[in-house]
Amino acid sequence: MSEFGLSGTELLITGGAGFIGSHLARALAPDNEVTVLDDLSTGRRERVPDAATFVDGDVRDRRKLKRATRNADVIFHQAGLVGVEQSLRQPTRSNHINTGATVQLLDYARTYDTRVVLASSAAVYGHPDSIPVSEDDCLEPTSPYGVDKLAADHYARVFADRYDLPVVVLRYFNVYGPRNGSNPYSAVVETFLRQALAGETITVHGSGDQTRDFVHVDDVVRANALAATTDAVGRSYNVASGTARSIRALAELVKDITGTDSRIVHTEERSGDIDRSEADLTRAREQLGYEPTTTLESGLRSLIEDGEAVTPSHGG
Coil/strand/helix, residue 59? coil
Do 37 and 12 contact (CB within 8 A), yes or no?
yes
Question: How far does Cα 290 stand from its chain's mean position?
Answer: 15
- Of the candidates 108, 112, 125, 145, the residue annotated as catalytic is 145
Long-range contacts of 194-201 (CB under 8 A, 24+ apart): 194/309, 194/310, 195/262, 196/254, 196/255, 196/258, 196/260, 196/262, 197/258, 197/260, 197/304, 197/309, 197/310, 198/310, 199/260, 199/261, 199/262, 200/262, 201/262, 201/263, 201/264, 201/265
State the Rg of the chain over Cα.
19
> What letter would DSSP give residue 126?
B
In the chain, how long is the greatest CA-to-CA distance? 59
Annotated active-site residue 145? The verdict is yes
Active site residues: 145
